[in-house]
Structure formats: C-alpha cells, structure tokens
A and B are shown apart, each in its own frame.
Chain A
C-alpha cells in the first residue's frame, strides 16, 4: 500500500516534471523518472491453490519466474471461485494495485465475469488462459492465450505405449469438453503409434478437483490390470501418487510431478507459462500492441515435456525424442487420416490432415479408436 501512495506521489511529481520539461528546463531528466514509475503491473488469479501440483501451480510458477525482472511487479490471488468473487478480485487489483494487465486463469472466469469487468475498465488488458476470444463478439481489451498441450501429451502416449506390458492405459479426466477429449485422443494416438493394439480406458470424474473420485478411479484402473495412468484434472497429484502406491507407471500433466512418483513416473505434459508471461511483460514494456490471441505448441515453447523418469527405457526415449524432433521442425501432424472414432465411424478420411492450428480440432466431440469410454461422461 505504501508503494501505492508512492506511485500516486510519483504521478503527481511527473505531472509537475512534464510541465517543467515543456519549458525545456528539465527535458533530460524526465525519461528516467518516467521509466521508474512505469513498472509493468500484472495481476494473476487462480481458481485453486498455488501449490496444487497442477493447473494453478503451473500459472503460479509462470508468475513467479517474472520476479527476476525488476521492471515488473506481480501480485496474485488463489482459491478465487468462478462467481462474482472473481469480479471483485479483478476490480480490487485494478483499483487498489493499479494493475495494467490481468491474467484470470480459470476457464469459468471468462463468460460472463471477464467480459463484464473488461467493459467497465477499457484501459486494462484482460488476458485469459483458454483461447475463447472472438473478434466479433468480445471487447478489444480482452485476449486469450493457450498452448497445444496435446503435443507433449502425444509424446507421453508414445512413452506409455513402450512401457505398458498389459497394453491397457488409463485416463482420468474431469469433464468431456473438446480440450480434454483432444488430450485423450492424442495420448491414445501416441501410444498406438507404438503398438496398434493398445487401449485407453477413460473415466470422467465430473469435476476439476474431485480427489476422492480420482483416487477411486485410479485404484479401480489398477485393479483392472491397467499399468500406465495419466489424467486431465486440475491437480494430477492424487492420480500420480495412487499409481506409485499401486506399483504402476504414471504420466504427469500441467507441471512436473516426478517427485511424487520417483519409481513409476515416466514423463508428462507441462505448460511453460514463464515464457508466455515474460513475452507479455516485454510487449507491455515496449508499448507494442498485444495480440488478442496467442497460441503455440512445443515449437513455440508454450508447452514442454517433463524430463523422463528413471524407469523409461532407452528405446522409448529415442522413439519419443524422434517424434519431439518432428514437432520441433513442424513436420509432425497428429490428426492425419485415416482416423476412426471408437464407434467405428471414420472422422478423418484418408489423405485429410488437420494441423495443430486447425480450428476444427477445437470442437472435438469424439474419442479415437482404441479409447474405451463415451463422450457422454
């Protein structure tokens, strides 16, 4: 708060200074003062705890990495529900902390909360994680960013395909939305690129943070002879730990979970928000116009694979590394026909390929052949 007052004081001083500079007296003095007052102020809001080993921690780590830039000031709030409370948190950051740009990171914050607040504060930029921004419908001071995380998920699938002895993989997912389905499909396609007979069992828990159901699902999957587990929920902690306890392999998600399963952790798909947030800070500092949509995959550095665990064999590593190389040079296409869904219908015919950026992939409502489960949840 004291800094708040200081800044207000600085602003007043600046007014005086610029008035003086107009007379030519202090012209050379102004830019320095201006730069020091113009710290880039970025506010972050998470729906869960900062240390959830998952979605929220990934954003928190991204935010924390900015602390070594002395011209950036960041602040954050955790456990903010997707109700009117997030509206109040955003307004508080704008009014009390002078935030110039806000990163409300949870999906449910977007409509109606961000859209509502953005209209009220046209000078503040609202950047939302998830890629929902639509030029036709949404305000100009709103933007979204997202990563093609199904690329490292595909890599994890390749590793899982090598490591599974039973040929049965398990996927514990929150709710059947396009993003989640895309990860399940990419994981399965990755595994089946190694062994075409592999199957993936899917369980939807119905919520993003449902640790009891996640543990139940993980245990029942282990009982069924599934020997590699992965998940798409807010915090993979429970799934990874349960897999370790049951002596089976696991692949992580959101952040690096290798410490939770030193024996059975294979690899995982991680966000690399520190790069994304540093880029944004840089754009604001240099006064560049911030693009309303930012996306990228492995090549752009928005997502990355977790380091391989101890158990991963050399063959699995070299295969996955080969695919990684193809992702990095842009020649890898995951959704290339012929691809059938798990009801036997051809969804992508022979000769047709959807590259990562294809918008069609973002309304995915089918599960690929080899997945045991339905999109009904």
Chain B
C-alpha cells in the first residue's frame, strides 16, 4: 500500500512541479501561462478528436519505450529502439510484398511475426555482445541504429524501390487488402491495441512471474544472480529479444497501418522518444501506458500552441525536457517522505 501510494504520489507531484517550472518559462517568453496550459489540455484531452490525436501518437511510443524499459530492468541501458523499429518495419514490408495475393489474415500475421522476430534478434544481438564480448550496450545500440537506417536507405533506394515513387522513394506497396485498419469508426489504428496488450503482458511477465523476478535480481546484482545459479546470459538475451520484438511491432504498424509501404519515414524519431517514456515510467511496462499517453498528448497539443500563441514547436520539447529532469530528480524521494513512513511500518 505504502509503495503504491508513493509510486503515484511522487510522479504526480513531480508533474505538477514541472508544470509550474514550465509556466515560469512561458511567462518569461511573454505568453499567458494559464492559457497555454489550458490549450495543451484542450489539444491533448479536450475532445474526442483530441483524444484520438493523442492516442494515435501514443501507440508507437508504448512499444518503443519497451525497448529501453525491459533491458533496463536487467541492468542494460539500451537506446536501440529506433533501429529495432526500422528493422522490424522493413522486414515486415519484405514479407508483406512477397506474400501479396495470399489471404490478408495470413499476410498480416506473417508480417507481425516477422517484425517481432527480426527486431527481437536485432536487440538480442546487443545483449549478446554485452554479455559474451563485454561491448558497451549503450554505444553498440546507438551505432546499430545508424546501421539499421543505412540498410533501410540502401534497400529502399535500391532493390526494394518501387520505380513509380519518383521523388519520394518507397518500397512496393503491401497492398490495400493487407493493411491493418482503424478501430471501428475512430481514426485510431490497431497499433494502440497492440501497444496496450504488449505493455500489460510484459508487465505481467516482469512483475508476476519467476522469470521477471530473475530479471530484476540480475539487474540488481549480477554477481549475486550468477552465484545463485541463474543463467544470466540467457536471461539477458531473452529480455533483449522481448524488448526488440515489442518495438518491431511498432515498425510493422508504421508499414501496415499507416504507410502501406516501407519508406524513409520509418526513421522518424519514435525510437528515441521511447527512451524518454521508458525513463519517465521508471521502466515499469504498465506505467509506460499512461506516460506514453501523456507524451502523445503533449505532442498532439504542439500544433495548437504554434497556431494559437505563435510559440515554436520547441516549446513542447522544453516541457518534455522539464518533466524528464524533474521526474529523474524525484527518484531520490522514494522511501524518504516522512509522513508516509508510518504506513510503511504498518503495512510493511
């Protein structure tokens, strides 16, 4: 109980504090802070249109955040989400294009599975390099992003290029029938459902199973984990694989629900934005859901701020940055709030 209250109270307070700091920034730049905050709320959550806008932007962030969150639980700082998303989307497009004509259900499933497997292996490679060769995973994951993007550029500008896409090079289309559509009458694609389901499933795995316990233990003290007989190498590789697989789905969604083909916009920063979401969620897969929605909302409101107040797009980046710093700083508060202590004694 104590933990739950603490884990809700501290982020909420941190959020309020960051809004306060942000308001000061807005006032210094000469706008009315209250109006700006009200506009952010309206642009993000003020109407059904705004909600759809927010959720559609949140969907890929849920999946790419897992790419950083899961490895972080086992003690690895992985920032390879961008590359994993590109790899997953690209490979899914290859499968989708070559299976064109088969039953859409089969093609869609094949694309999702391919995206998960390939992106999973991509990130598992980062874990394996770390465990067996002691290659720093932060550096290798960052560099692998560039490799993934370069491979994509090569394929899309070369062998996979549809010659009809003259000035916006793209792969051949996967076909309208094989597209994953929107949820009901809304303008939200099924990527959101994938994001929610995967986050909840991985939360269950990480917090309610012995596998998740072993991962947390390895992350806490790798020597202790080894001494108690855990197969640390295997744990690292499986965790990284799951992280990559989740992110691969985000790539598949970009191809199969948004563009209908693979093109250079597979690399549009969702992987990097996911890092922020993962840290804000303190690497808890369940917390990723509300954090991703919050970030999606901030991104969704950017347009209104620009149009209504003539503020640059960077304003929302400033807000994101402030939230990031304040939440990270608030980490030090856990277990230190005096008036919450008695509850800890009572409930353990």
Query: In the bound complex, do residue B269 and residue A92 qualify as a contact, i.e. CB atoms below 8 Å apart?
Result: no
Query: In the bound complex, do residue A82 and residue B265 qualify as a contact, i.e. CB atoms below 8 Å apart?
Result: yes
- Shortest C-beta distance, B179 to chain A (Å), equals 10
- Shortest C-beta distance, A90 to chain B (Å), equals 10
Which A residues from 56 to 115 make CB contacts under 8 A with B? 75-85, 87-89, 91-93, 95-97, 107-108, 110-112
Query: In the bound complex, do residue B167 and residue A177 qualify as a contact, i.e. CB atoms below 8 Å apart?
Result: yes
Which B residues from 283 to 315 make CB contacts under 8 A with A? 299-300, 302-304, 306-308, 312-313
Contact A108-B264, Cβ < 8 Å, known A78-B306, A207-B153, A376-B158: yes
Max count, chain A CB within 10 A of own CB: residue among B165, B167, B264 = B167
User: Does A206 touch B at the CB level, under 8 Å?
Assistant: yes
Contact residue range for chain A? 35 or more
Residues on the A chain within 8 Å of B326, using CB? none
Residues on the B chain within 8 Å of A130, using CB? 167
- Shortest C-beta distance, A55 to chain B (Å), equals 13
Query: In the bound complex, do residue B303 and residue A175 qualify as a contact, i.e. CB atoms below 8 Å apart?
Result: no
Residues on the A chain within 8 Å of B302, using CB? 77, 79
User: Does A132 touch B at the CB level, under 8 Å?
Assistant: yes
Query: In the bound complex, do residue B57 and residue A81 qualify as a contact, i.e. CB atoms below 8 Å apart?
Result: no
User: Does A307 touch B at the CB level, under 8 Å?
Assistant: no
User: Does B118 touch A at the CB level, under 8 Å?
Assistant: no
Query: In the bound complex, do residue A108 and residue B263 qualify as a contact, i.e. CB atoms below 8 Å apart?
Result: yes
- The distance in angstroms between the C-alpha atoms of A91 and B188, with both chains bound, is 13
Which B residues from 232 to 277 make CB contacts under 8 A with A? 254, 258-260, 263-265, 268-269
User: Does A179 touch B at the CB level, under 8 Å?
Assistant: yes
Per-residue CB contact flags for chain B residues 309-333 toward chain A (1 = under 8 Å, else 0) read 0001100000000000000000000
Residues on the A chain within 8 Å of B265, using CB? 81-83, 108
A81, A89, A111: the one contacting B303 at CB < 8 Å is: A89
User: Does A49 touch B at the CB level, under 8 Å?
Assistant: yes
Which A residues from 247 to 282 make CB contacts under 8 A with B? none
Query: In the bound complex, do residue B264 and residue A207 qualify as a contact, i.e. CB atoms below 8 Å apart?
Result: yes
Max count, chain A CB within 10 A of own CB: residue among B169, B268, B303, B304 = B303
Residues on the A chain within 8 Å of B49, using CB? 91-92, 95-96
- The distance in angstroms between the C-alpha atoms of A49 and B56, with both chains bound, is 23
Which A residue sits closest to B305, measured CB to CB? A77
User: Does B150 touch A at the CB level, under 8 Å?
Assistant: yes
- The distance in angstroms between the C-alpha atoms of A348 and B53, with both chains bound, is 50
Which B residues from 182 to 200 make CB contacts under 8 A with A? 187, 189
- The distance in angstroms between the C-alpha atoms of A130 and B168, with both chains bound, is 10
Query: In the bound complex, do residue A49 and residue B306 qualify as a contact, i.e. CB atoms below 8 Å apart?
Result: no
Which A residues from 167 to 207 make CB contacts under 8 A with B? 175-179, 206-207
A75, A78, A79, A84: the one contacting B56 at CB < 8 Å is: A84
User: Does A346 touch B at the CB level, under 8 Å?
Assistant: no
User: Does B94 touch A at the CB level, under 8 Å?
Assistant: no
User: Does B166 touch A at the CB level, under 8 Å?
Assistant: yes
Query: In the bound complex, do residue A84 and residue B258 qualify as a contact, i.e. CB atoms below 8 Å apart?
Result: yes
User: Does A237 touch B at the CB level, under 8 Å?
Assistant: no
User: Does A363 touch B at the CB level, under 8 Å?
Assistant: yes
Query: In the bound complex, do residue B150 and residue A363 qualify as a contact, i.e. CB atoms below 8 Å apart?
Result: no
Residues on the B chain within 8 Å of A88, using CB? 52-53, 56-57, 300, 303
- The distance in angstroms between the C-alpha atoms of A376 and B187, with both chains bound, is 38
User: Does A9 touch B at the CB level, under 8 Å?
Assistant: no
Query: In the bound complex, do residue B53 and residue A76 qualify as a contact, i.e. CB atoms below 8 Å apart?
Result: no
User: Does A377 touch B at the CB level, under 8 Å?
Assistant: yes
- The distance in angstroms between the C-alpha atoms of A112 and B166, with both chains bound, is 14
User: Does A50 touch B at the CB level, under 8 Å?
Assistant: yes
Residues of A within 8 A of B (CB): 1, 43, 49-50, 75-85, 87-89, 91-93, 95-97, 107-108, 110-112, 130, 132, 175-179, 206-207, 362-363, 376-377
Residues of B within 8 A of A (CB): 39, 42-43, 49, 52-53, 56-57, 150, 153-154, 157-158, 165-170, 187, 189, 254, 258-260, 263-265, 268-269, 299-300, 302-304, 306-308, 312-313
Using A108-B168, A178-B166 as known contacts, list a sample of 12 further A-B pairs with CB atoms less than 8 Å apart, ordered by residue number in A: A1-B39, A1-B42, A1-B308, A75-B306, A83-B258, A84-B57, A91-B49, A95-B49, A97-B307, A107-B167, A110-B168, A112-B258
Report, nearest first, the 5 A-B pairs whose CB atoms are least far apart: A75-B307, A81-B268, A82-B265, A79-B313, A88-B53
